[in-house]
Amino acid sequence: MSVPRRSSPTNHRQPSPPAAAATAAKKLQVADARPGLIAFLPNSAVIDRTLQPWVSAAAVNHPVCIIGLLNNGQTACCAQLTSFGDSTLETKYPSGATLARMQQLYVPIEHAKSTYSGAPTVLRLENQQQMIKQTYINTPAWFTIKTTELTAMRGGPRCVDQTSINKLHQLLQKLIKRETAISAWHGPNGSTPMMPLHRSQSWTLADLGILTPPPPPPPSSPNFTAAQRALIQQQVAKAMTATAKPFAPRVATGPVHMTPMPLASISNNVVGRYVLPSKRSSNGICKTTASWARVAASSA
């Protein structure tokens, strides 16, 4: 009969801590902050909700996009990001009229697995990077926070490219000018603004840390997905390859047969400018030999 082996405290192995817990999130440094950068808003972030009552508790533990910087980069103006529960804007707002209105407010960041039917603006990350899932920038829901309250995204920095930053600033400019409609005031008991634009104050781009006005938008172009752009590039390259083939002139391989022409026909086709000026008369008749034909004075 075997006796069970008793475990010894010396050979008892403790489980290793999870990697996420072992590595603390890195605080975002002021020198690393820039417009378009995707950062993370941790649960521990301190937000002044007295001056910004529209920032809900649900905003934390989510990524944000820095849209501007104030106080020499010490303060970041951020827009909330959302993935609609790993869904899409079209799924959440299936109504055509509502969807068209929401597409003016929620701007997608390009994702390889998504399509953007009717989306007026699609943003892109630098270096063809991708978000983990389809993400939208909630442009009217901006807020300011101390830059160092944010943390850097795991896996390396992600930033919206400069063209997309210009588009984002153009949309914000339309918002603060009240050119884009937003939902009505619907805070609890009608006392809490749900967005900064629900306040009676006037906003400027400088209030959002955007000191340089965005350039005017370029002519609109279709929003293609990455797969569609790759297909278009292949078709263009194929067409350029076809046109680049060397020209091969067609050369006759056999004898060339020519029909003899009477000398009189040749002489009748001679134009007046080949006749010496001293041989021309004012009425347009060249008095040389009988074989010369009458030529128009206008061809002289």
Residue 152 β-bridge partners: 39
pLDDT for 22 equals 37
Position with higher pLDDT, 170 vs 219: 170
CB 137 within 8 A of CB 168: yes
Q: What mean pLDDT, rounded, does the chain reach?
A: 75
Residue 183: band (very low, low, confident or very high) from pLDDT cuts 50, 70, 90: low
pLDDT for 38 equals 95
113: pLDDT strictly greater than 50: yes
Helix (H) or strand (E) holding 229: helix 226-243
pLDDT for 274 equals 47
Residue 271: band (very low, low, confident or very high) from pLDDT cuts 50, 70, 90: very low
pLDDT for 24 equals 60
Q: What is the pTM of this model?
A: 0.62
Name which of 129, 85, 91, 93 is nearest 109 in CA terms.
129
Q: What's the CA gap between 286 and 295, in Å, rounded?
A: 8
170-182: pLDDT as tens digits: 999 998 888 877 7
Q: What's the CA gap between 105 and 139, in Å, rounded?
A: 6
Residue 279: band (very low, low, confident or very high) from pLDDT cuts 50, 70, 90: very low
280: pLDDT strictly greater than 80: no
pLDDT for 131 equals 87
pLDDT for 278 equals 46
Q: What's the CA gap between 84 and 35, in Å, rounded?
A: 24
125: pLDDT strictly greater than 50: yes
CA torsion sign for 88, 94, 100, 101 is negative
Give 23-91 as a DSSP string.
SPPPBPPGGG--TTEEEEE-TT----TTT-TT--GGGSSEEEEEEEEETTTTEEEEEEEE-TTT--HHH
Residue 141: band (very low, low, confident or very high) from pLDDT cuts 50, 70, 90: confident
293: pLDDT strictly greater than 80: no
Amino acid letter, 132: I
31-87: pLDDT as tens digits: 999 999 999 999 889 888 888 888 877 788 999 999 999 999 999 999 999 988 888
Cα angle 88, 94, 99; round to 5: 80
Cα angle 118, 120, 121; round to 5: 125
Amino acid letter, 279: K
Residue partners of 167: CB distance under 8 A and separation at least 6: 107, 121, 123, 214, 217
Give 122-144 as a DSSP string.
-B-BGGG---SS-EEEEEEEEEE
- 237 three-state secondary structure: helix
pLDDT for 214 equals 78
Tokens of 121: 């603006």
pLDDT for 123 equals 93
Tokens of 265: 């026909």
CA atoms within 13 A on the CB side of 30: 9
pLDDT for 12 equals 41
pLDDT for 276 equals 47
CB 134 within 8 A of CB 119: no
Amino acid letter, 11: N
Residue 95: band (very low, low, confident or very high) from pLDDT cuts 50, 70, 90: confident
Mean pLDDT of 270-294: 47
pLDDT for 255 equals 65
